[in-house]
Structure 1
Amino acid sequence: MFIVALTGGIATGKTSVTKVFKENGIPVVDADQIAREVVEPGKPAWKKIKAEFGEDVFNDDDTINREKLGKLIFDNIDKRRFLNSATHPEIHRRIYIDVIKCFIAGHNFVVVDLPLLFETGVMIQYCYKIITVTCEEDIQLTRLMDRNKLSEADAKKRISAQMPLELKCSQSHFVIENSGTLNDTEQQALQILEVLLESNHHWKIRGIILTTAAVFFSGVAWLLDYKYKIWSQ
């Protein structure tokens, strides 16, 4: 099995692309969903956030007020770095676990939706292919303002906090231009899916894993046999 990373900028339309993969039976690991789960009340990351930011960023039911927290971290790079350090290790651990589950289930490849793939750099070395979803700057800004009910200034802060889209595109294997219609975006995603389905790379990965496992267990068997012979003398 191999990993395909799906990334892009905030509000460029990654959800529309992951929907195409899901509808065609491809497992998708959603980093944003995991990020919401690791900060649920009582979780270790939740406790760190509460200790650092206080009660002001929490709702009455102890869930995080994402709007208030977002405003704080996008106004202060040090606070943003703290939040990342508190959440990213657990997010990546959960991603690895979900990917392993997909491997055990026999899938040829898995799509990992990673908005900050290039910014963190943690998983790039494990990705066989990278897809970046992009769109025109004014469309991205409008979408973000409408979706999150943000002012233009706040929306621009969030966009500028990420790596420029053109740089992400230049480092990707596939680029989906999402400035047009939904149908156009879906067609681009289906074309990429067809290429991925034709790939035999998953056999190479499975071969490497099985060979490594065989060598390991052969070594263990030899060691146990060697110790048994010594004890038997």
Structure 2
Amino acid sequence: MLRVAITGGIATGKSTIGEMFARRGAHVIQADRVAHQLMSPGNDVYDKVVAHFGREILNPDGTINRPRLAQAAFPDKVQELNNLVHPAVLDFQDRWMDKIGEEDPNAIVICEAALLFEAKGEKRYDKIIVVRTPFDTKVQRYAAKMKQRLGDARMEVLRRMNAQMSEEEKARRADYVIDNNGVLDHTEEQVEKVWLDLQEQAKLARV
């Protein structure tokens, strides 16, 4: 089994890239969705996050308001949030990958994790893919996703970028870099090239 991670900055289109690999046969999991699940009421991570950041981050129904949590964490307390959430997310991903490996020793498993390097989780993977995109494209994507004005989205994107490792440093640490500039055909071509190489790497891993 070949273990691969997809990472990159905010609004680079990591999920879109993950879907492209999934269509080609990869097993894909998103760290953000795992974290969302682990931060639901009744989970240990939920209790820790609420105890640390206060009940002000909760919705009336007791669930965590993620934009409010992000507001409380970025930029000064983001590492505190990471320390509460990331160990549980990484443990969940490890168990998921082990299960896939038991079912299909020839599998290529891909974990999408925005804060892979920040969580020091890169050693769990055989290959790392970094997705990057121009700043203005990030702002437009974030604004559309969050239904914000461009000015507000620009400020939030900058705030989060400043709290994370630079895209340039992430690219230096990557085995593959995919430029997701909004032209899907170009992105698909890059994904296909990486996918073919990952398949070759998976074959070598079985030798």
Whether these two folds match at TM > 0.5 is yes
In angstroms, what is the RMSD of aligned CA positions?
1.5
2:199 is the counterpart of 1:201 = no
Segments of structure 2 that go 5 or more residues without pairing to the other structure are: none
Amino acid across the alignment from 2:64: I
Could you tell me whether the CA contact under 8 Å between 1:12 and 1:133 is conserved in 2?
yes
Instruction: Specify the SS of the correspondent of 1:60.
Output: coil
Q: Which residue of 2 aligns with 1:176?
A: 178
Instruction: Specify the SS of the correspondent of 1:120.
Output: coil
> Comparing 4-13 with 180-189, which one deviates more in the overlay?
180-189
Distance 2:139 2:125 in 1: 29
Could you tell me whether the CA contact under 8 Å between 1:6 and 1:114 is conserved in 2?
yes
Describe the superposition over 1:100-129 as per-residue Cα deviations: whole angstroms up to 9, x where unpaired: 01100114321111111111222x223211
Alignment of 1:12-91 (within 5 A): 12-75=12-75, 77=76, 79-91=77-89
Q: Which residue of 1 aligns with 2:4?
A: 4
Distance 2:52 2:99 in 1: 34
Q: Which residue of 2 aligns with 1:148?
A: 146
Amino acid across the alignment from 1:154: E
> How has the CA–CA distance of structure 1 residues 125 and 56 changed in structure 2, closer, same or farther, with 3 Å as cutoff?
same
Greater helix proportion: 1
Structure with larger Rg? 1
List, as ranges, runs of 4+ consecutive aligned residues in structure 1 with deviation greater than 6 Å.
Answer: none
Amino acid across the alignment from 1:82: E
Alignment of 1:121-132 (within 5 A): 121-122=120-121, 124-132=122-130
Could you tell me whether the CA contact under 8 Å between 2:178 and 2:191 is conserved in 1?
yes
Give identity over the alignment, percent: 32
Distance 1:49 1:40 in 2: 10
Q: Which residue of 2 aligns with 1:188?
A: 190
Q: Which residue of 2 aligns with 1:223?
A: none
Amino acid across the alignment from 2:132: T
Segments of structure 1 that go 5 or more residues without pairing to the other structure are: 205-233
Distance 2:126 2:204 in 1: 9
Could you tell me whether the CA contact under 8 Å between 1:5 and 1:114 is conserved in 2?
yes
Deviation at 1:194? 1.1
> Comparing 91-100 with 141-150, which one deviates more in the overlay?
141-150
Could you tell me whether the CA contact under 8 Å between 2:53 and 2:72 is conserved in 1?
no
